[in-house]
Amino acid sequence: MNFKELDQMVGWEQEVDNIDWKSMLEDIDRALMDNLAAELGFRTYEQLEHASERIVQDYYIVYLSDGRYAWWNPLKYATEDPLYFADKEEIEQYITGLLRLDNEQRAQLRSGLARIPQMHRCIVCEYEFNPKDPERRKWDSSEERHEFCSAECAMEHVMTEMKEDFTG
């Protein structure tokens, strides 16, 4: 081995030693959570989290705009995809079997599932959103804009319609 190769190895080792592994792992975790959100149709992980109900430990349910329920876990997402259920009865049966719920617990689950709000899909960006999110009242105080996820999407829709009116 010549000195140039040895010098390159030392330089490479120093670069590896200088990597901020904690920061890199946090970036990877963040990207993974954003990917989970995108897979479920949400713009960000925070929006997915706010739209979901925690059922047990780190398992959550979200009621999607197409009528399906999704069962997901942020800690197991790297190895376990979200599960989708066609309706409330199907997910209730799954959870009842998984957690071995008795009749009283099943009644509580049924009551909880009935309170989960159904998401809507924005007609502009096509992301899922919770139409009952209190943050929406800041720009939709009349609560009449259920087709838009944000003020930006509502404005983009209005601008597109105006352009179409002018250009014919």
> Could you report the per-residue pLDDT of 111-138, keeping only the tens digit for each?
999 999 999 999 999 999 998 888 888 8
Least confident of 25-29, 46-50, 146-150: 25-29
Please provide the size of the chain in residues: 168
Tell me the pLDDT of the chain averaged across its residues: 86
Please give the sequence-ordered ranges of beta strands (E in DSSP) within the chain, or none if there are none.
53-56, 59-63, 69-72, 83-85, 120-121, 128-129
Asked whether residue 52 carries a pLDDT value surpassing 70, the answer given is: yes
Q: What is the pLDDT of residue 163?
A: 78
- Percent of all residues in the chain with a pLDDT value above 90, rounded to a whole number: 57
Asked whether residue 1 carries a pLDDT value surpassing 60, the answer given is: no
Provide the pLDDT confidence category of residue 17 given band limits of 50, 70 and 90.
low
Using a 10 angstrom Cβ sphere, with 0-12 exposed, 13-18 middle and 19 or more buried, the burial of residue 61 is: buried
* The model scores a pTM over 0.85: no
**Residue 88: other Cβ atoms inside 10 A:** 16
Q: What is the pLDDT of residue 125?
A: 95
Residue 44 DSSP class: S
Which value, to the nearest 10 degrees, does the dihedral of the CA atoms of residues 71, 76, 78, 84 take? -10
Report whether 148 contacts 122 (CB < 8 A): yes
